[in-house]
Structure 1
Amino acid sequence: MTSPHHLHAVAAAWSLQAARTALAQLARAANRRAADDLLAAASILRAPVYGTRLSGGGHGDPTTGVLLAPPTAHETTWADLLQRSTGRLDWLADAIRCPTGLTVGRIREHIPALPPGTVRLVARHLADEDAWVRAAIRQPRPVEPLTGVPCPHCGERQLVVQTAGPVDAWTVICTTGRLCTGAGCPCGMPGAVEGVAHIWRRADVLGAVAGAVPANTEAG
């Protein structure tokens, strides 16, 4: 099944997967640094020259307590953020009865089987989650300008390609923000839905520019 809702949902899923990959990399790097710090602290404490033994017992170097003391307050880590995101996505996957698999991947692969009304909500959840993760890691959604190509709807040359995921999954949106008017809309989108932001497959837009008939109209 294909509709603008399906295309928006798949595009959001690919973008979210890329954002979560970057978040996971930050979490792993932070864990490695924490482990290195603990090993460094342990080696200092084991060193025979560490501190000065006092007659009443214990060491005279006061930094021992600092190194071993637990943190006074819990700090949110990259791993915490990743876990929260995974929890929300697992809930979404279970709600739409996805098969088992990787968190975002199983949602994305299940999207074509969903009716438009359901996938509209899924697209919103995925876009919101993507925005939340990207705000945390301070990375914008990956897009590239489609220079010199007119919008199939309004004719203005303000198209951008959403480049998350494999090339054959890339989609095109118009940054003017004009919405589809539904059946009869000049956007030419199969299954056009009134009030939805325009979105096209990149291959379809480039094919239309070249005068070719779009080769693929199934949602992925």
Structure 2
Amino acid sequence: MSGLENNLKQVRERIEKACLKAGRNPADIMLVAVSKTVDIDTIKKAYELGITHFGENRVQELKQKIPLLPQANWHMIGRLQTNKVKDIVGKVVLIHSLDRWNLAEEINKRARALHMNVSTLLQINIAGEEQKAGIAPDDVEYFLESVSQLDHIRITGFMTMAPLLDNPEEARPVFRELAQLRQKFRQKSYPNVELKYLSMGMSQDFEIAIEEGADIVRIGSAIFHGE
């Protein structure tokens, strides 16, 4: 068994164990393999091993990799500059990092030009870290209300990044708060909003995220570099 195959097997087993603990179905968890800085041959091997979703942080890498594996589902998970929106709209299945209003307007404008709707996740800075992108929890309601003006954007869930902590258990309150926010806003109805997904949890803390309700986990190093 190759290193990659072994890593994947371990990650899937960890997902299953976390689901078992939380009384959830592992089939409901979308595994997005974070393939930044990973060469295309390795990505293709991961695809052959059953990984169908890949996440990239940089538009430049996405542009280079998508044509080499167009049958995969590509996700934009990093901070997105407005001038790069034109390069990915229509090419990725989901933008995880909608974190400001002018970006929403630009995505909507590009989507309208292509006569399509674009799925996005609203990035929320639960931990309040200054160096992290994302809107404040207090601004979520206003953002969801305002998105009704943008007819080519769909907000299909929330995304957050927990602080990098030595003990993954310490990230639990962050994940729990995001799940509570989704629960709160699911009880209301907003045009162009359907909160299906919580994208949270990475290599160091994805089990905790799953226990707290993550539907999408973004895992890079545990798959591609081992632990």
User: TM over 0.5: same fold?
Assistant: no
More strand by share: 2
For the pair shown, which has the larger CA radius of gyration, 1 or 2?
Answer: 1
TM-score (norm: length of structure 1): 0.29
Greater RCO (CA < 8 Å, at least 6 residues apart): 1
More helix by share: 1
